[in-house]
Amino acid sequence: MTEPLLAPRNARMHVAFGLALGVVALVVLLVGRTPVSVFFAILCFVAYFDLRRLLAPHPHRFTLAIGGLAVLGLLWCGYAGRLQLMPSLAAGVVLLLLVARVLLNEAGALPAAGMTSDLAATVASFAIVGALGAHVLLIRSVPRVGFKALLMLGLGVFLNEAASFGVGRLRGRHRIAANISATKTWEGVVAGFVVSVIVGLVAGVAMKPPFDVASGFAFGVGIGVLTPVGDLTFSAIKRSAGAKDSGTYLGPLGGALDVIDGLLFVAPAFYWALRTISM
């Protein structure tokens, strides 16, 4: 018989922490655009440090700080709906990192050892978290339909992950990629996909505009497919760094990156699909 994927006590704690965080996210979403944006920005800011530590365990404080500010800058572009500024901002930060890092090295303030990995890890971290996270805020910034769209995305991803975890824990027998994620099973993925499709259909009936039944179904299918792909992608990054989770400060949920990785991965495709039906 297949061994349990998680001990019952750990599974209950995981569910309890996940529900608590989900309730907080839903409350701030209902309160208004600014509160939910600040809440999500905090998660992204912390997730950047999680990812940066995974990619290169010993970052220099200067490059670490510049990357963190870049994440906030990209998130501001998303909040303000200024998509066109994001490439210029990212390019400017990369140039700043390169020039400043070289000058500090020449001045003897920073050692040359590890400079390439330090710069590469910083650029990758702020680009992944900042650019993907900005698309979540871009969704919320869409006039008239941003609230409903973000609600649908959040529920689709969160309930997908909850169903995948629950069914995988209770009925999971066939692991997808044991060397990447020991808890991800085909049974859980199928359950998560079905839940996301149901969320999409409900949105198609109850959230007009921007959705109708056909588009709601299509968005649900997209969320159902991309959420586990995103989870496995970030799991592969963590495994390559020899880590199971990106942190321990959120208890059984891990770190901030573990909480929002699925949302980050799905958001760009969701945003651009949303634009085709609402603009």
Which residue range forms the structural domain that includes residue 29? 8-278
pLDDT of residue 184: 84
Q: Is the pLDDT of residue 4 over 70?
A: no
- Indicate left, alpha or beta for 251 from its phi (over 0: left) and psi (-120 to 50: alpha): left
Percent of the chain with pLDDT over 90: 62
Q: What tens digit of pLDDT does each residue of 110-120 get?
A: 666 678 888 99
Confidence of residue 3 (pLDDT cuts 50, 70, 90): very low
pLDDT, greater one: 69 or 2: 69
Assigned domain for 3 exists: no
Mean pLDDT computed over 74-102: 93
pLDDT of residue 117: 86
What CA–CA distance (Å, rounded) separates 91 from 184? 36
Q: What tens digit of pLDDT does each residue of 43-73 get?
A: 999 999 999 999 988 878 888 999 999 999 9
Q: What tens digit of pLDDT does each residue of 173-206 get?
A: 788 877 777 778 899 999 999 999 999 999 999 9
**Residue for token pair 């297949």:** 2
Tally the domains of the chain.
Answer: 1
Q: Which of 98-107, 184-193, 229-238 has the lowest mean pLDDT?
A: 98-107
Assigned domain for 92 exists: yes
Assigned domain for 2 exists: no
Assigned domain for 1 exists: no
What CA–CA distance (Å, rounded) separates 62 from 99? 12
CA distances from 167 to 22, 55, 197 (A): 19, 31, 16
Q: Do the beta carbons of residue 75 and residue 134 sit within 8 Å?
A: yes
Q: Is the pLDDT of residue 266 over 70?
A: yes
